[in-house]
Amino acid sequence: MTIAFTFPGQGSQTVGMGKGLADAFPEAKAVFEEVDEALGQKLSEVMWDGPEEVLTLTANAQPALMAVSLATMRVLEAKGLDLKSAVAYVAGHSLGEYSALAAAGSLDVATTARLLRVRGDAMQNAVPVGAGAMAALLGLDFDVAAEVAQEAAQGEVCQAANDNAPGQVVVSGHLAAVERAVEIAKAKGARRAVMLPVSAPFHCALMAPAADAMSKALANADIKSPAVPLVANVLAAPITDPGEIRSKLVEQVTGTVRWRESVSWLAGNGVDTFVEVGTGKVLTGMVRRIHKEATGLVVNTPEDIDALMEKIVG
């Protein structure tokens, strides 16, 4: 069994996430307290009690999702998990890349929380509300979806933002261009093409101001070599050098999340078990669509943690 740990991105957040872990394990509770302190905000109260619209704000959802993933990691470690000996690679979807790096010891939790707060604010503020949009094009391969985006741009920004799984591509850009992409995709045989309820057009050129903000924030961040390689979103290949990690995290703000290729790379390099650490099971669903033979496990409850440790340690 060769394992990769994966870490979810925005959209997986739910009110109440992480509460069971905090109640059951002091190690988990300590992570939520550390994140609250780093941000100067009782983010844990928003996570556990809502309201949902406040949790869903990009600046809150990003550090909150990371907090649950890292709380889960700390419990696994307390139960005897040694990441370096048990896990071959880590990978995360968009903000999940920061969770993956924190899990692998490349970033500490407080630094990661502050970076994600900067990232969330910068991504939200990069484009005026209503000026940008994202849409899911279902049933089209990535190359066709990229052609649709190019055809729809017409002098505006429209690009393939997330290559999530076969036939599941998200495009991002100016509102009118993304609306054109939806119509073009339907004409090209998309099974469905729908606008997404997002607050900003992530992972496209319109995020350039946010990339600049992250470049400044990451320049001062202490980044160490991770205990195991990170398969980076923009490369779909492993990296361990702190300087390269820093530059790829900046590129990731405007670049395509190459999740389908990342999972394919992992599967092609011996990974047969993908463990989603944190909230939800979005990535596990994607993994099964990308690599049908893979085993997908979700770890976000005390019971899940015990089951995983039984598998790994026996």
237 bridge partner residues: 232
| Overall domain count for the chain | 2
The total of other beta-carbon atoms located within 10 Å of residue 155's CB is 7
pLDDT for the residue numbered 314: 66
Domain that holds residue 269: 3-126+206-313
The first and second tokens of residue 147, run together, are 């052609």
Are 157 and 243 in a shared domain? no
Question: Please, are residues 201 and 133 in contact by the beta-carbon 8 Å criterion?
Answer: yes
Are 149 and 179 in a shared domain? yes
Q: For residues 158 and 120, what is the distance between their CA atoms, to the nearest angstrom?
A: 21
Are 190 and 221 in a shared domain? no
Q: For residues 152 and 193, what is the distance between their CA atoms, to the nearest angstrom?
A: 13
Are 295 and 213 in a shared domain? yes
Question: Please, are residues 192 and 138 in contact by the beta-carbon 8 Å criterion?
Answer: yes
Q: What are the start-end ranges of the E strands in the chain?
A: 3-7, 89-92, 132-138, 158-165, 168-174, 192-195, 230-232, 237-239, 273-277, 295-299
Our measurement of the distance from residue 183's CA atom to the centroid of its chain's CA atoms, rounded to an integer in Å, reads 28
- pLDDT one-digit tens code per residue, 120-136: 999 999 999 899 999 99
**Per-residue pLDDT tens digits of the chain, which is 314 residues long:** 999 999 999 989 999 999 999 999 999 999 999 999 999 999 999 999 999 999 999 999 999 999 999 999 999 999 999 999 999 999 999 999 999 999 999 999 999 999 999 999 999 999 998 999 999 999 999 999 999 999 999 999 999 999 999 999 999 999 999 999 999 999 999 999 999 988 899 999 999 999 999 999 999 999 999 999 999 999 999 999 999 999 999 999 999 999 999 999 999 999 999 999 999 999 999 999 999 999 999 998 999 999 999 988 76
What order do you get walking across the sheet with 89-92 strand by strand?
A: 237-239, 230-232, 89-92, 3-7, 273-277, 295-299
Give the residue from 198, 228, 252 where a domain finishes. Answer: 198
Q: Which residues contact 61 (CB under 8 A, 6 or more apart)?
A: 10, 13, 55, 120
Classify strands 168-174 and 230-232 as parallel, antiparallel or unpaired.
Answer: unpaired
Q: Which residues are catalytic?
A: 94, 203
| Backbone dihedral angles phi then psi of residue 281, each to the nearest 5 degrees | -140, 30
Are 212 and 94 in a shared domain? yes
Give the residue from 156, 175, 198 where a domain finishes. Answer: 198
Question: Please, are residues 203 and 256 in contact by the beta-carbon 8 Å criterion?
Answer: yes
Q: For residues 211 and 131, what is the distance between their CA atoms, to the nearest angstrom?
A: 18
- Amino acid type, 292: K
Question: Please, are residues 178 and 134 in contact by the beta-carbon 8 Å criterion?
Answer: yes
The first and second tokens of residue 280, run together, are 């939800």
- pLDDT one-digit tens code per residue, 53-67: 999 999 999 999 999
The whole-model pTM stands at 0.97
Q: Identify the CATH number of the domain in which residue 190 sits.
A: 3.30.70.250
Q: What are the start-end ranges of the E strands in 22-144?
A: 89-92, 132-138
Q: For residues 42 and 163, what is the distance between their CA atoms, to the nearest angstrom?
A: 34
pLDDT for the residue numbered 129: 87
Q: For residues 251 and 274, what is the distance between their CA atoms, to the nearest angstrom?
A: 25
Q: For residues 120 and 95, what is the distance between their CA atoms, to the nearest angstrom?
A: 9
Q: Identify the CATH number of the domain in which residue 276 sits.
A: 3.40.366.10
Are 211 and 304 in a shared domain? yes
- Integer-rounded Cα Rg, in Å, for the chain is 19
| Closest by Cα among 158, 156, 157 to 181 | 158
